[in-house]
Chain A
Amino acid sequence: MLDNFMPTGVEYFRVLPEIILTLVGVLIMFLEAVLPENAKTILSKVAGVGLLGALAAAFYTDPGMAFQGMLVVDNFATFFRVLVIGIGFLTVFASSEYLRREGQTGGEYYMLILFSIVGQCVMATANELIMIFIGLEISSIASYVLAGYLRDDARNNESALKYFLLGSFATAFLLYGVAWIYGASGSTNLTTIRGELVNGNVPEVMAATAAALILVGLAFKVSAAPFHGWAPDVYQGAPAPVSAFLSVGPKAAAFAVLLRVFVGGFGPMADRWAPMLWVISLATMTVGNFAAILQSNIKRMLAYSSIAHAGYVLVAVTAHSSTGSAAAMFYLAAYAFTNLGAFAVVAYFSRKGERYVKIADFEGLAERQPAMAAMMTIFLLSLIGVPLTGGFFGKFYIFKAALEVNLVWLTVLGLLNSAVAAYYYLRILVVMYMKEPGESMQDLPPAGAAMKVAVYGSALGTLVLGIFPSWVLDFATKANLR
């Protein structure tokens, strides 16, 4: 009997990325304790190497189930694992300079990033509600700490506390939903749940309640309206590279879960939840965009913009077709590069103690640091959705998926929303290019090598996804959930 529960070697191999990340995380913690102070700059490199190793392991993995079907390594999981590990890689590059500036050695920081990614990888591979919960908790707890990483900074503390309280509350909803569906279907395995739903063995009211509760939990994690309230405060308060990470990494993983649970597990009752998502996605886009117009702090504005972008992805989820899933996945990848890049520029620009985070502070950046301004332009154009950037193709593909299933009004309103959004992104272009350099430009140092890697790498990714989307899109299309 016990033999059945003993995993085989190949099953361990399937979770190799997680294993590598955990081991490297522990190693970093150990090195932090033993290394002399001046040698600690190596920690970021260790984290980078660990992430590269995990990336390779995620790429060359052997598809299949692991641990009694609790984890499933399919194309879908591989896509998201590669995505979140890649996000972690760029985040590490965007962080090292920032941490040095703030007087931090950063051992714990990299360890937390790695652990958070482990959680996200588990979320991407989980085929089981309990595993999803565990992954979510691993990811979230690390993220809570990251948000308050500079513990002497009041804003960091506020951010972490808010994130923690609201996040736990949302996780409780999720867990309650899991309990309902377990009670109703007798299983927490998504494949089994799907089967039970198809066979009509589950009382519909109970299944709907479970779906609603899980949706609340996940809507919080992807910062969908009306559960988006935490995002602006958290992103504004957290260190800029952490905001970059939070706005793309945990969010991508949460969308992976959303797709896996709703399009996969609860797929048979899509006609019940799709209308709900219709409303949520429209509300999310609209709230995000209109609130972003009013912001004067660039981190807060990017936070609202990330809410709006979650709304676009939800449009693809609402379509609950294979095109829709592929569109959501592509968009998340494009958005990851774009938003990481934008936040990285903010991290570079803000200087010690994040003094310069107002939009108006960017005045004249194009004259002082034309390369950085040009990169920021690429990110902003991608966020607007101008062709030849990943953001455009992602949006195009999302609305294509929506129109395929006749979501005409959602498409029209979504596209008009993106025209509204253009306004606040253009405002940053205006201050960067069309204003004279102000006081905030006086002590702006050129970007360091690591920051350049993060920013240029993100810009390159944004453009490549816009000009040659097939590479990623084919991958996403193969990851069929049905």
Chain B
Amino acid sequence: MTSPLIELAGIRKSYGTGTEVEVEVLHGIDLALHAGEFAALIGPSGSGKSTLLNLIGLLEPPTAGSYRLLGQETSALSDDAITALRGNAIGFVFQFHHLLPAFTATENVLLPRLIAAGPVTAPQRESARDLLREVGLGDRLDYLPRKLSGGQQQRVAIARSLALGSPLVLADEPTGNLDTHSADGIFALMRRFNRERGTAFLIVTHDPRLAQRCDRIIELVDGRISSDRVNEVSLVTT
């Protein structure tokens, strides 16, 4: 087997370290995710799902333990190195879509490239528009986010998470805010990119129906992984 995309060993996370109200949210997480996986992260509220996702996304550092991303140990990296690694390796889809309101759909998709490589060329712009056409927004390319529906905004967010061809997309309740129909569409879209491009997805969700459609289901309870299983059903149904 190839080396994993991410590899967590004994990851712990506490808040309020050094104060009287120190709380440990994650109590030693061991987890590996390989290229092309399509995994759900489930668990009750307050089980530490979002915290774990933030750690994997390098948005905050663990209190203890080792985290290797693309084979690189991250604990010793500087803030700038972590930022660069995050930009290249990980795409994000948040629950509240989090597009930049002052930028059009196309510009939002172009932002990661603008950050990574400076001024955008015409072919790059065209490929961003192609990506938006792929997610079904060919007629909304130059709309500002506020002119788009929730589902459409989330499609832009997915296109943005794929803009740099990152091997891993982290999605935090990507359908949490959408009606069933839109949610199914978003989910199908992620599934399609997973199949077509081999992008790995780690999806935090509350929705057992959607979790059942993932290849792997990781369950977090009280800051510990309580179960981690391959979901045979999804291979048949989706």
- State whether these chains interact: no
Task: Give the B-binding residues of A (Cβ under 8 A).
Answer: none
